[in-house]
Structure 1
Amino acid sequence: MSGYASFREFYPFYLNEHSDRQCRRMHFVGSTLVLVVIATALVTGHAWWLLAAPVVGYGFAWIGHYVFEKNRPATFTHPLYSLMGDWVMYWQILQGKIRL
């Protein structure tokens, strides 16, 4: 993988790495659970819930990559752009621009 000058340049690569629907579904579930964990922490006032956020988020995503997509997550080489890509893809799924 080469370097990317911007997120706009990186995002097509990111989408290509998520071409398998099951992988996208795993990402969607993980991201939704991250939001649930954050909401739970806010509602209960127990910040320790936040420790679960990266576990569920990355756990589901990485299973999607290793089991279904059969590739290595971009998190290891482009962590910030990859995190941004997760949430852009999540929003585009909610908008119906990307199919589950």
Structure 2
Amino acid sequence: MDRIKSYKEFYQFYLTEHSNKTCRTLHFVGTLLVFVLVFLAVFSNRPLLWILVPVMGYGFAWVGHYFFEKNKPATFKYPLWSLISDFKMFFELLTGQLSFDGSRDRS
């Protein structure tokens, strides 16, 4: 596959790589836990919680890719765009702009 040149194009690719409902749900849960852990680490002054941030974020996502999507996470080829897209997908799922089953994805 050729390198993707625009973020808009990448995000459409990202959504196709996250079309499985369980994979999307695991991404959502992992990202939610990231927000919870960051909040707790900052406001409880427990710096060891920072170690769990990437474990939760990537752990849930990679389980979704390995066991349910059966593909390789885009993080390995497009790390920054993948991180941005994970947060974008999280908020779009949270607000109902995207559905967990992929039925309301943009074309």
Same fold, TM-score > 0.5, yes or no: yes
Q: What TM-score bracket applies, with the shorter chain setting the length?
A: over 0.9
State the Cα deviation string for residues 19-73 of structure 1 (Å, max 9, x = none): 1010000000000000010011012112221111000000000000001111110
Q: How many angstroms apart in 1 are the aligned matches of 2:66 and 2:51?
A: 23
> RMSD over aligned Cα, in angstroms?
0.9
Runs of at least 4 residues of structure 1 off by over 2 A? none
Question: In structure 2, what is the equivalent of residue 50 of structure 1?
Answer: 50
Unaligned runs of 5+ in 2: 101-107
- How many residues are treated as equivalent by the alignment? 100
Counterpart of 1:87, as a letter, is F
Question: In structure 2, what is the equivalent of residue 23 of structure 1?
Answer: 23
1:5 is displaced (CA, Å) by: 1.9
Counterpart of 2:24, as a letter, is R
Q: How many angstroms apart in 2 are the aligned matches of 1:56 and 1:38?
A: 11
Counterpart of 1:36, as a letter, is V
Counterpart of 1:93, as a letter, is L
So what's the TM-score if we normalise by structure 1?
A: 0.95
Question: In structure 1, what is the equivalent of residue 14 of structure 2?
Answer: 14
Unaligned runs of 5+ in 1: none
State the SS of the aligned residue for 2:18: coil
* 1:61-76 paired onto structure 2 within 5 Å: 61-76=61-76
Percent identity of paired positions between Structure 1 and Structure 2: 48
So what's the TM-score if we normalise by structure 2?
A: 0.89
Q: How many angstroms apart in 2 are the aligned matches of 1:7 and 1:37?
A: 28
**Bigger helix share:** 1
